[in-house]
Amino acid sequence: MLDTLTFLLEKLFLLAHIKLSKPPLTRRCDRDESPAQPAAAPQKFQRGDLLEVPRTLFTHFGIYLGDNRVAHLIPDILPVLTADSRQIQEMVTNTRLLLGVLSKRASIRVDSVEDFAYGAGILLNAMDSAVRRSPLTGEEVARRAERLVGGVSYSLLWNNCEHFVTYCRYGTAQSLQTDQFCEWLKSLIRDQRNVLLTALLGLLSMACLGISPSTALPTLLIPFTLWMAS
Of 161, 124, 207, 194, the residue nearest 18 (C-alpha): 161
Question: Biggest alpha carbon distance in the chain?
Answer: 67
Q: Which of 29, 161, 182, 208 is catalytic?
A: 161
Enumerate residues 6+ apart whose C-beta is below 8 A from 88. 76, 78, 79, 82, 107, 109
Enumerate residues 6+ apart whose C-beta is below 8 A from 45. 37, 51, 64, 113, 124
Cα–Cα distance measured from residue 147 to residue 188, given in angstroms and rounded to the nearest whole number: 40
Which residues, in sequence order, are bridge partners of residue 54? 59
User: Are 181 and 92 a contacting pair, CB within 8 Å?
Assistant: no
User: Are 54 and 120 a contacting pair, CB within 8 Å?
Assistant: yes
Q: Output b/e per residue, 83-93; b: 16+ Cβ within 10 A.
A: eeeeebeeebe
Cα–Cα distance measured from residue 130 to residue 108, given in angstroms and rounded to the nearest whole number: 24
Phi, psi of 54, rounded to the nearest 5 degrees: -65, 130
208 catalytically annotated: no
Q: Which of the residues are catalytic? A: 161
